[in-house]
Homo-oligomer: A and B are copies of this chain.
Amino acid sequence: MTGVKHMKWWGWGVEGVAFNHENKPAMAPFVKEAVGLDLTKPAIAPMAFEDLDVPASQLSDKLKSALTKAVGETYVITDDMDRVVHTYGKSLRDLLRIRNNVLPRVPDAIVYPADEDQVHAIVEAAVDADAVVIPFGGGSNISGSLEPRADEKRQVISLDMGRMNRVLEIDEESGLARIEAGVLGPDLEQQLNDKGWTIGHYPDSFTHSTLGGWVATRSSGMQSDKYGDIADICKGVRVVQPGTTTVVRPLPSTSTGPSIREMILGSEGRLGVITEVWAQVHRQPEQRVVHAYFFPSFTAGVEAMREIAESDASPSITRVSDARETAFSMATKKAGKGFGQYAEAGLMKFLQVRGWNLDEMCLSFIGYEGSKTHVSMNKAICDRIVKAHGGIGVGTGPGVLYDQKKFDTPYIRDFLLDRGAAGDVSETAAPWSKLIKVYNSGVAAVQKAYEELGTKGWIMCHLSHSYHAGACLYFTFAFVYDEETALEQYDVVKRAIQQSFVDNGGTLSHHHAVGTEHSPWLEQDISAGGVAMMSGLFQAVDSGENFNPGKIINEG
């Protein structure tokens, strides 16, 4: 046993944890209405692992022996379960393929290094054998960054960083922690919290993603408004490359340009194996609250967030759900929970009296962190702006709920998939002036795709991660799928929304990376010249294409 735990092979999270709707009385009627799905019907059970056709490992004795020499026998794994778990991430495409026994290429071995020297030994052995190395963190990626190329003829090694999971040191004066790249979110946060610190990085995938994965995919967390994206948090990094370790020392800022740090960020394993990160960490705040608000429309909410971004306030979270996501949130809350002292029915009546169209109503969260004075002063600024845009505060009840539920969303996808609806997410970022256009176009593109497919579907969205110049729009979509053509149906929907992003001034992804899922839009995002620069960089570091080839730059 390697001691490294993984998510279940067929879906999100760990065995035994699942979403269920029994305690959420509004959900079944809501889903019935939204996509026509009957949640009371029995779910489809995923196929048995034994029924998968897992291609045999092609690991040569020679490479196996070199890898064994590098990490020891216990940590070179060739069994089918581990190999399947390391084949894909957790995108809808991944889940559909694995549930349909689509496994054209599975890594030939999983190797678990204990330290940087062992990573070096693995890398040298792999390059000597002209094998492919794919670094693996928590396996939560949804952009196709982890899979071997289907037609890969060379041996494929999945390099699992799970044993390298320690906070090595905290520079308390500088607020910098040196951390091994394979640590999972909760483990990292526990080690930091024990000493009074936090990294403040909470992506939706937090429970099953790693620090190294965050850096390799340019991740962003829910509290990025305060703590920054991982690109801001990562101040130094160590990367194992053939024959060398590139070291970016922890520095607050530097004019040593073209930034090596920013080449590693988002490199998805193509520039080597990230072994250590110097991350910016913060003392745990004196106070931390998430307040909920309602806006009469999505446009009003977006405009308020823009004004907050321009103001002197510095909240930790700014989030506005559109009307559909608001309705979904209210439908998936547990019976009896919710708006605390505000009786929900009473609130709705109050808003109706004030002339609100409840179908357009949008739920919003604003988070505040810091000293009590800082929190109250920031809240005062935000409250005033919310009010000026017709919004109303409803206290901290829903915020507490949001905080508790925030990492559960991916489980819902599995739940729906078992019941006939395929869902996934697509997100982008754009300047404030283009956000509503990106929003409307995204919704329209997906609805048009549903029409073309002749299926009933759902799309909802929230704004999050505000910056001075713009924000992220995060879309969730789900549709009733056809067993035979589900992947093709997904492609139609996914292509439609991605194309609408780049056509309207958005990027291909704000925090889910490029991988293979988004690479068809790379050139439209960064121009042909940008692709040539990236390609030249990959070629210079990895002329043999041994490091996660096929990712980021589209191979058609």
A interface with B by C-beta (< 8 Å): 171-176, 216-220, 229, 231, 235, 239, 241, 244-260, 262-268, 271, 280, 282-283, 306, 310, 312, 314, 370-371, 373-374, 377, 429-434, 465, 467-472, 505-514, 522, 525-530, 532-537, 539-541, 552
Contact = CB atoms under 8 A, between A and B. Distances in A.
B249 A257 contact: no
The 3 lowest CB-CB distance pairs between A and B, nearest first, are A257-B266, A536-B540, A246-B529
29 contacts: A171-B431, A171-B433, A174-B434, A218-B254, A218-B256, A218-B257, A244-B529, A246-B526, A246-B530, A248-B527, A252-B429, A252-B468, A253-B470, A254-B525, A255-B510, A255-B511, A255-B513, A256-B507, A256-B514, A256-B525, A256-B526, A257-B552, A258-B263, A258-B264, A259-B263, A280-B469, A312-B373, A536-B536, A540-B540
B247 A529 contact: yes
A305 to B, nearest CB: 12
B263 A533 contact: yes
Nearest to A216: B257
A229 B218 CA distance: 20
Given A532-B540, A537-B537, A541-B532, A252 B283 contact: no
Given A229-B253, A250-B469, A527-B245, A534 B306 contact: no
Number of copies: 2
Do most interface residues of chain A lie in helix, strand or loop, or is the interface mixed? mixed
A202 B472 CA distance: 30
A226 B446 CA distance: 40
Given A258-B263, A533-B271, A534-B258, A249 B312 contact: no
Contacts of A265: 257-259
Nearest to A309: B175
Given A218-B254, A252-B468, A468-B252, A533 B537 contact: yes
A260 B218 contact: no
A472 B255 CA distance: 11
A371 B540 contact: no
A306 to B, nearest CB: 7
